[in-house]
Amino acid sequence: MDMKVELLERYYACPKTPIERFQEKLQALLERPYMPGLLLMSCTVIALLWANSPWGDSYTRLFFTYFTVGYGDFALSKPLVFWINDGLMTIFFFLVGLEIKQEILEGELSSWRKAALPVIAAMGGMLFPGLIFTALNYGTPEQRGWAIPVATDIAFAIGVLSLLGERVPQGLRMFLLSLAIADDIGAVLIIALFYTEDLSLGALLFGLIGVAVLWGCNRLRVYNLGVYGVIGVLIWIAFLKSGVHPTIAGVLIALTVPMRPRMSWERFRDGTRGLLSDPALSENSSPIFVTAVTEQVERASIQAMSPLRRAMHGLHGWVSYGIMPLFAFANAGVHLRWEGIGELMHSTVLWGVAMGLFFGNQIGILGFSWLAVRLRLAVLPAHVRWGHIYGISLLAGIGFTMALFIAGLAYGDTLLTLNEAKVGILLGSALSGLVGVVVLRWVLPKGAVAPKEAP
């Protein structure tokens, strides 16, 4: 496939300007798997430095500045951090929903044979971190944060794994990706079931009717993403008013987006070939005629790509390089007071989160994977050994984005406890990432190229 793409690029190659060459190099750099994680880390460091600088108050004032959207009785006035955490993060969850749907229908979760190992491993990776946190905070108000260490940050984990390059077997990459997707499904269910307060059944019913309308649009073969976007905004408002966290609306909306394209690949291929082989093209090269032909091919190419993949392709860059870094920047600014470090180090919330992320994922993922293989419920991917699974169980302890999000839901009204949870997230995620890289560098072949899987 890569060779065919390269041949197409050569065939359609045109002389490039210096700016176009710069744009290509920049795009190639941004497409590297580790870049989203690196950007997240950079935003986290900047937020920490700013929040603990002499200008730390300006950091707080910035994100608690109120912004109003709407007009008159239909206006919604909320602080900037709300628009990021509940508004922009809905787009992040929408992308997560698209990825979940794709994986379930035709990806690594499309059959039990493919999904067994990562799904069972994800169960262990959610159970034990929650148990460790609960054991340290049982019977206290802080027990509400038990779900903080259960989720894996896909961008960070995949980015860290990519640092090892071609030494990583393809089966191991897919195991981590499938594990993270299964983990996201669990995290979404936890948010919906355990972090919903003051439920308004009327507003929730209105939102669910909106979801049903979008499902009907799917069945009626409505392929215009604008329809799903407009109705999706109304669903988001309904979920916001209902008490169910509005980001859940993003996942439900994503599940209604059509997976099948309007035009089959064969029809697009044959139609484009017939159009471009028309003798009239060689006889008429006027700008108007050429524009009409290229526009027709462009419209056909859009119809040949499913709305789900068009949405994923269009949103991926915005989420990876815009929404997630902004979320990290707005939420990672923990105020660290040196005079309070001793008290902070005795926080059961901090250690519950950190130990849940670091130890809980190791115990749960490795232990449940071993049981699944031992009981013949699953098999290890090709070229993957138990040392590799242990390394992945460490990387799964990087819970950054989703953990920060759940911490905000659990302790949003208690700033001191929220800061303790954030420090635990940073500590547990950093330790998991560093030790995970060390273990994988040790167990993976030195300088070897990862075997390619059969197509």
DSSP state of 165: G
Q: Is there a contact between 395 and 121 (Cβ–Cβ < 8 Å)?
A: no
Q: What is the DSSP string of 274-319?
A: HHHT-HHHHH---HHHHHHHHHHHHHHHHHTS-HHHHHHHHHHHHI
CATH code at 181?
A: 1.20.1530.10
Residue 238 lies in a domain: no
Establish if 74 belongs to a structural domain: yes
Residue 212 lies in a domain: no
Query: pLDDT tens-digit profile of 313-361?
Result: 999 889 989 998 898 898 888 877 655 676 778 889 999 999 999 999 9
Q: Which two tokens stand for residue 374?
A: 């031992």
DSSP, collapsed to helix, strand or coil, labels residue 53 as: coil
pTM for this entry: 0.81
**Would you say residue 22 lies in a domain?**
no
Write the pLDDT tens digit of every residue in 78-98. 889 889 988 998 999 899 889
User: Is the residue at 205 inside a domain?
Assistant: no
What residues contact residue 217 under an 8 Å CB cut-off, 6+ apart? Answer: 227, 228, 231, 256
421 found inside a domain: yes
pLDDT in tens, 386-436: 999 999 999 999 988 889 999 988 998 888 889 899 999 999 999 999 999
Range of the domain at 361: 36-195+245-260+306-443
Domain count, the chain: 1
What is the rounded distance in angstroms from the CA atom of residue 251 to the CA atom of residue 96?
Answer: 7
Closest CA to 428 of 51, 124, 85, 156: 156
Summarize the chain as % helix, strand, coil (round to 5): 75, 0, 25
The predicted-structure confidence for 217-275, as pLDDT tens digits, reads as follows 999 999 999 999 999 999 999 998 888 888 889 999 999 999 988 887 778 777 777 77
The answer to whether residue 271 sits within a structural domain is no
133 close to 356: Cβ distance less than 8 angstroms? yes
Q: Quick check: is 112 in a domain?
A: yes
